[in-house]
Chain A
Amino acid sequence: QKEVEQDPGPLSVPEGAIVSLNCTYSNSAFQYFMWYRQYSRKGPELLMYTYSSGNKEDGRFTAQVDKSSKYISLFIRDSQPSDSATYLCAMSINTGTASKLTFGTGTRLQVTL
């Protein structure tokens, strides 16, 4: 069993839709949770970062963490064609110093006109 599970998609939605992307994890030691966006043949770009259960909002993006269920989500409101990309969840263990990230496989999102 992988430490982080993420549906690879592809997920296709019409412009303006609300998108829900999800990851589950098995290691309860994970404490930092991130979402990255990766355009084709580019490097991952940090979108959201959180370390506590609950919601964090930034513009059209909301990150949600439920540590009791080991489940994290990213919601995108009013989706745009420019949101078409692969979305990667990532998480890490708090070791007191910077530590490695464990990634999901990524969900490919296509927002159509």
Chain B
Amino acid sequence: NAGVMQNPRHLVRRRGQEARLRCSPMKGHSHVYWYRQLPEEGLKFMVYLQKENIIDESGMPKERFSAEFPKEGPSILRIQQVVRGDSAAYFCASLPRGTTTDTQYFGPGTRLTVL
């Protein structure tokens, strides 16, 4: 029973490049959340998606960041023209369809380093 999967686990980019982070939710889960964790800080909500729909993107920076969760395949968090301040651990979490609780299950994270 595979858990939430994220790849890559580590990603190094130079300033100005694009970063693509992937998240495959647990089997049967149709809700995906992305969170960012800066050093010495807690997790901050970024975006909540269901298949082909963005439900809540109130935590997403207005520029350079986008997210999608297509009908087929993993959810993608895309960061264009990365800057040093984007260096962080990015976690996704998933929930099963029809849930009314908020017990989210997290993946191992992608650690992004911007040089």
Contacts and interface: CB of A to CB of B under 8 A. Distances in A.
A101 interface: yes
B40 A105 contact: yes
26 contacts: A34-B103, A36-B106, A41-B109, A41-B111, A43-B91, A43-B106, A43-B107, A43-B108, A46-B104, A46-B105, A49-B103, A51-B101, A90-B43, A96-B100, A98-B31, A98-B95, A98-B100, A98-B102, A99-B102, A100-B59, A101-B93, A101-B102, A103-B42, A103-B44, A105-B40, A105-B42
Contact of A43 (B42, B44, B109): B109
Interface in B13-54: 31, 33, 35, 40-45, 48
B92 to A, nearest CB: 9
Contacts of B99: 98
Interface residues of B, number: 29
Contacts of B59: 100
Nearest to B58: A100
Q: Is the interface of A mostly helix, strand, loop or mixed?
A: loop
Contact of B48 (A8, A36, A100, A106): A100
B89 to A, nearest CB: 8
A88 B101 contact: no
Interface of B: 4, 31, 33, 35, 40-45, 48, 56, 58-59, 91, 93, 95, 99-109, 111
A34 B104 CA distance: 10
Contacts of A100: 33, 45, 48, 56, 58-59
B40 A8 contact: yes
A42 B108 contact: yes
A43 to B, nearest CB: 4
A45 B3 CA distance: 11
Nearest to B108: A43
Contacts of A45: 106
Interface centre among A32, A92, A98, A101 (most CB of B within 10 A): A98
